């Protein structure tokens, strides 16, 4: 009996040690993940993508990730607006499947559904979310979260208010710096022997583009370059691109950082700053300026503030990269830099996103994974935001449910694109009329051509040959030379929609735009 007990005890000890050893080994093999995510960062404002601002406003730390890993040139958003894109990234599913269609009166993200952070947590990862959330619901699947709650979860650049694991806290300082501080604090306090996934999500460079004090006048009197399509007259696109409220005309006094006169009440001050939001409200620094001079003045102020907020983002990414290196985490940590969609930086005279046009559709996606992704890789394959989740899970060795609509592009990052990889993608935008009066539309985009259907209170199709017309100035929908191509793409679009499970009629689609689902920026709960 005594010998049996000794033998049992010995087996127990050996088994325990083996399990601990395996756990440690598995922990070492499982890569850490730092997913750095900004809001409204256009590829045209990242120097590694060939930005027109790259000499004046370089992004050296973002570029470092690209140089040491892979840069994706054809990453496309399935619904180019903040909340829906974030929901699609979390779930690996289209808006019509995950239920989060729009920001304004778009409801509350269903946190009970599967998300990749939940899958990582279940697999033994420590998980954290810091920064912008913007999905109305409480984050689920995170050991720790601290997200912006002021201004409908858009957050404040200065002295931001956070939900800190269920408690409201107001912090002093600049949001981009603070969010990084909190992320690093969490990294310092985590369990060091377990893998982690950190979602570091900046408010910047979202509107109202408030730079850190040290960058408020970074470029002084320097004139920033204008995009080629700045003076677009919308010929052939009068009812679509030509009928919005997102041109330079709609910048407010607040956007332009104008100072209200003394003696105004709080209500009067707010009204004064909002002037410019409505049609016909002309914001100008002087009565003597022509309409073109006013427009250029607005652009110069906007683009300098926008790029200055990105300067702080890039600085803080440098802080994160330095931390990983200093703490010996660099070699076993996947670092991703992305944004929720693209953004117009004066192209077509626009700011904001929403459209299926290239500037809004194209997302930055840059990734470093030492030993797995060769430095300097450029991936031109069509990737969408529903592919992020399965890719990260494959890298982490975590299984992906069949219900996930996206596909892992890990092999693409290694230069091993499958022969059957997608050749086209399906896009769908639903929100109307708020904000900016962009008509709901869906479409298909392949490596060369794009077909779009605008459908709310118009019935308009647009077709572009991106090889010959990369800035999308020439709508060829009535061109006889492309007639067969257009019909084939309409058929393919139908099959893509059906394949992804969106068989709604136009009436049903319009009702989504019309419905108040509650949530952010709605009185309905």
What is the spatial distance between Cα 136 and Cα 240, in angstroms, rounded to a whole number?
Answer: 30
What is the spatial distance between Cα 181 and Cα 489, in angstroms, rounded to a whole number?
Answer: 48
- 469 φ/ψ sector (left φ>0, alpha ψ -120 to 50, else beta): beta
- Helix, strand, or coil (residue 303): helix
Q: Which phi and psi (to 5°) does residue 36 adopt? A: -95, 125
With 0.85 as the threshold, say if the pTM is over it. Answer: yes
8 Å CB contact between 33 and 392: yes
Instruction: Tell me the residue length of the chain.
Output: 525
Supply 524's token pair. Answer: 């309905």
What is the spatial distance between Cα 341 and Cα 86, in angstroms, rounded to a whole number?
Answer: 9
In Å, how far from its chain's centre is CA 374?
25
Tens of pLDDT along the chain (525 residues)? 444 444 444 434 444 433 433 333 344 589 999 999 999 999 999 999 999 999 999 999 999 999 999 999 999 999 999 999 999 999 999 999 999 999 999 999 999 999 999 999 999 999 999 999 999 999 999 999 999 999 999 999 999 999 999 999 999 999 999 999 999 999 999 999 999 999 999 999 999 999 999 999 999 999 999 999 999 999 999 999 999 999 999 999 999 999 999 999 999 999 999 999 999 999 999 999 999 999 999 999 999 999 999 999 999 999 999 999 999 999 999 999 999 999 999 999 999 999 999 999 999 999 999 999 999 999 999 999 999 999 999 999 999 999 999 999 999 999 999 999 999 999 999 999 999 999 999 999 999 999 999 999 999 999 999 999 999 999 999 999 999 999 999 999 999 999 999 999 999 999 999 999 999 888 886
Of 164, 161, 204, nearest to 185 by C-alpha is 164
What is the spatial distance between Cα 432 and Cα 434, in angstroms, rounded to a whole number?
Answer: 5
> Angle at which helices 82-91 and 388-396 pack, to 10 degrees?
40
DSSP state of 360: H
What is the spatial distance between Cα 387 and Cα 519, in angstroms, rounded to a whole number?
Answer: 26
8 Å CB contact between 169 and 162: yes
CATH of domain 30-213+304-432: 3.40.720.10
- Contacts for 139 with CB less than 8 Å, ≥ 6 apart: 111, 129, 133, 145, 147
Q: Which phi and psi (to 5°) does residue 365 adopt? A: -150, 115
What is the spatial distance between Cα 225 and Cα 270, in angstroms, rounded to a whole number?
Answer: 32
In Å, how far from its chain's centre is CA 212?
21
Rg for the chain (alpha carbons), in Å? 24
**E-only strand ranges, 434-498:** 441-446, 449-454, 460-465
Structure confidence by residue, pLDDT tens digits, 290-326: 999 999 999 999 999 999 999 999 999 999 999 999 9
- Pairing of the two strands 424-429 and 70-72: unpaired
- 505 φ/ψ sector (left φ>0, alpha ψ -120 to 50, else beta): beta
Domain ranges for the chain, please list them: 30-213+304-432
What is the spatial distance between Cα 357 and Cα 354, in angstroms, rounded to a whole number?
Answer: 8
What is the spatial distance between Cα 297 and Cα 100, in angstroms, rounded to a whole number?
Answer: 37
What is the spatial distance between Cα 120 and Cα 391, in angstroms, rounded to a whole number?
Answer: 12
What is the spatial distance between Cα 436 and Cα 349, in angstroms, rounded to a whole number?
Answer: 13
Structure confidence by residue, pLDDT tens digits, 475-499: 999 999 999 999 999 999 999 999 9
């Amino acid at each position: 009996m005594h010998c049996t007990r000794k033998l049992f005890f010995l087996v127990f000890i050996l088994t325990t040690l083996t399990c601990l050893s395996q756990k440690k080994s598995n922990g070492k093999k499982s890569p850490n993940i730092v997913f750095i995510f900004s809001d409204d960062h256009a590829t045209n404002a990242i120097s590694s993508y060939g930005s027109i601002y790259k000499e004046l406003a370089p992004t050296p730390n973002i570029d470092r990730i690209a140089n040491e890993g892979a840069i994706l040139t054809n990453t496309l958003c399935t619904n180019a607006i903040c909340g829906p894109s974030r929901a699609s990234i979390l779930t690996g599913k289209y808006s019509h499947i995950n239920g989060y269609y729009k920001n304004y009166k778009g409801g509350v993200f269903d946190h009970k559904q599967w998300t990749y952070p939940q899958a990582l947590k279940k697999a033994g990862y420590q998980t954290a979310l810091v920064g912008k959330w913007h999905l109305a619901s409480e984050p689920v699947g995170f050991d720790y979260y601290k997200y912006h709650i002021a201004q409908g979860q858009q957050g404040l650049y200065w002295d931001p208010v956070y939900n800190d694991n269920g408690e409201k806290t107001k912090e002093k300082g600049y949001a981009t710096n603070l969010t990084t501080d909190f992320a690093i604090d969490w990294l310092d306090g985590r369990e060091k022997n377990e893998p982690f996934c950190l979602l570091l999500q900046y408010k910047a460079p979202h509107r109202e583009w408030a730079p850190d004090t040290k960058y408020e006048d970074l470029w002084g009197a320097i004139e920033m370059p204008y995009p080629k399509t700045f003076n677009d007259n919308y010929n052939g696109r009068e009812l679509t691109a030509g009928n919005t409220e997102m041109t330079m005309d709609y910048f407010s006094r607040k956007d332009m950082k104008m100072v209200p006169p003394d003696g105004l009440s709080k209500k009067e001050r707010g009204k004064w700053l909002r002037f410019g939001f409505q049609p016909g409200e002309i914001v100008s620094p002087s009565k003597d300026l022509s309409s073109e001079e006013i427009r250029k003045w607005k652009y110069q102020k906007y683009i300098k503030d926008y790029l200055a907020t990105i300067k702080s983002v890039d600085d803080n990414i440098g802080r994160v990269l330095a931390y990983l290196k200093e703490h010996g985490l660099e070699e076993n940590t996947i670092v991703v830099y992305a944004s929720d969609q693209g953004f117009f930086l004066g192209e077509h005279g626009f700011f904001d996103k929403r459209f299926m046009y290239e500037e809004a559709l194209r997302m930055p996606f840059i990734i470093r994974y030492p030993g797995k992704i060769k430095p300097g890789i450029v991936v031109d394959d069509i990737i969408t935001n529903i592919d992020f989740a399965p890719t990260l899970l494959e890298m982490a060795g975590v299984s992906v449910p069949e219900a996930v609509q996206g596909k892992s592009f890990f092999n693409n990052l290694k230069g091993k694109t499958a022969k059957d990889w997608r050749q086209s993608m399906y896009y769908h935008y639903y929100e109307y009329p708020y904000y900016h009066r962009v008509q709901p539309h869906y479409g298909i985009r392949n490596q060369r051509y794009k077909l779009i259907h605008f459908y709310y209170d118009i019935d308009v199709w647009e077709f572009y040959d991106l090889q010959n017309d990369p800035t999308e100035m020439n709508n060829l929908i009535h061109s006889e030379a492309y007639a067969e191509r257009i019909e084939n793409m309409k058929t393919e679009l139908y099959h893509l929609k059906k394949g992804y499970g969106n068989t709604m009629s136009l009436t049903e689609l319009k009702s989504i735009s019309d419905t108040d689902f509650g949530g952010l920026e709605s009185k309905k709960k």
